[in-house]
Amino acid sequence: MKLTLRLERRLTPSRALGFLIPVFSIVLALCFGAVLLAAVGKNPGVVYQKMFSGAFGSRFGLTETVVKAIPLMLSGLGVAVAFRMLLWNIGAEGQLQIGAFAAAGVALAFPQAPAVVIIPAMMLAGFLGGALWASIPAALKAKLQVNEIITSLMLNYVAIYWVEYLVYGPWRNPKGYGFPGTAPFSPAAELPRLGTSRVHLGLLFGLVAALCLYFILRRTKWGYEIRVIGENPTAARYAGISLTRNILMVMALSGGLAGLAGMSEVSGIIHALQRGISPGYGYTAIIVAWLAKLNPWAIVVVSFLFAGLLVGGDQLQISMGLPAAMSNILQGAVLFFILGGEILVRNRISLTWEK
């Protein structure tokens, strides 16, 4: 007698599990984190309670969570549209940086411009900056079949060094006491905020972007093409769908959304271009997009969750001296469990005794 594990493909993916697995993944990741915390001599209960109350337990925490959800939402949507057609854009981090750089350039070049002119100009610059940056791996992929995973990732490093060069060098604020950052933008170049909080208009960008993306994917011919390429590339080719054109357009949209995230960070929060404008939003966005199964509305919800994780992680660093990297570990662990659980959505598992 031998116990064997068999997988049977389900005729239709399980909807209930499609929802339960992400939830269970988060729970399991927290359990894993608890073991790790206990191993380094910290009380997991206390740590999680601190993280939770840090992120959701006060007005400040809650608004900070919303603030951090904005770049996650925008770049998560960007990542998702590319992933939809199996285009692995993992360069959202760099596209965000270049978007921030372009938007900052516009703000610094026209300090006299009124808000109605400068804000749309910065949005356009941020979007185009990110789109152009993403067009490098896109063009290499479309024309020369170069692997976009590596090129888009390598450009993250280049973008970060480029921004560092500017804020330490030619763009450094002469009155900044040597601090690596540009001069502050004019008040007109600042995104309006909600009351006295730090929540800014970027939230609306994110929600509108989700709506647009949902509409594009569900209601337009272009969206249909993207989905066909992602689900069956061979069928797409026979149907006469241009892969080249779609790679270029989807990557531009993907990078543009990340660029807009960069714009909303500098215009809504920092009001200048600085070093370290992103604690890895572009990477977290990948997890957000995957956890949300690339669904625009789910991305909005998951962004808040992961923003809470980031804020909670920061809180740990402040109050307990624990590295903020704790939130990265949990992010990675959630993704492991999600990936592992996906097989259950598509297959039924049965344990049987065989002779």
Partner 1 sequence: MQDTLILILLILAGAIRAGTPLLFATLGEIFAERAGVLNLGVEGMMIMGALSGFMVTVRTGNAWTGLLAAILVGGSIGLIHAVLSITLRANQVVSGLALTIFGTGLSSFLGQKLVGVPAPDTFRVVRIPVLGELPVLGPLVFQHDILVYLSFLLAPLAWFLMFKTRPGLHLRAVGESPATADAMGVSVVGLRYLYVFLGGMLAGLGGAYISLALTPGWADGMTAGRGWIAIALVIFATWSPARAMVGAYLFGGVEAAQFRIQGTGTQVPSFFLNMTPYIFTIIVLVIATQETVRRRIGAPAALGLPYEREERG
Give the residues lining the site for partner 1 (CB under 8 A): 36, 40, 88, 90, 140, 144-147, 149-151, 153-155, 157-158, 161-162, 164-165, 168-169, 283, 286-287, 290, 322-323, 325-333, 335-336, 339-340, 342-343
**Shortest Cβ 193–partner 1 spacing (Å):** 31
Least Å distance, CB 142 to partner 1, is 13
Instruction: Pick between residue 113 and residue 320 the one whose CB is nearest to partner 1.
Output: 320
Helix (H) or strand (E) holding 330: helix 325-346
Give the span between the Cα atoms of 103 and 228, in whole angstroms. 34
Smallest distance from the beta carbon of 140 to partner 1, in angstroms? 6
Of 65 and 156, CB closest to partner 1: 156
- For partner 1, give the closer residue by CB, 127 or 171: 171
Q: CA-CA distance, 15 to 18, in Å (whole number)?
A: 5
CB of 327 to partner 1, least distance (A): 8
CA distances, 296 to each of 79, 149, 213 (Å): 11, 22, 7
In this complex, which beta carbon is closest to partner 1, that of residue 76 or of residue 268? Answer: 76
Helices (H) and strands (E) in the chain, counts: 13, 2
Of 185 and 290, CB closest to partner 1: 290
Are 41 and 297 a contacting pair, CB within 8 Å? no
Pairing of strands 2-9, 347-354: antiparallel
Structure tokens at 92: 């959202």
- Identity of the amino acid at 208: V
* Residue placing its CB nearer to partner 1 in the complex, 82 or 122: 82
Q: How far is the CB of 20 from partner 1 (least distance, A)?
A: 17
Three-class DSSP category at 200: strand
The DSSP 8-state label assigned to residue 295 in this structure reads -
> In angstroms, what is the minimal distance from the CB of 222 to partner 1?
24
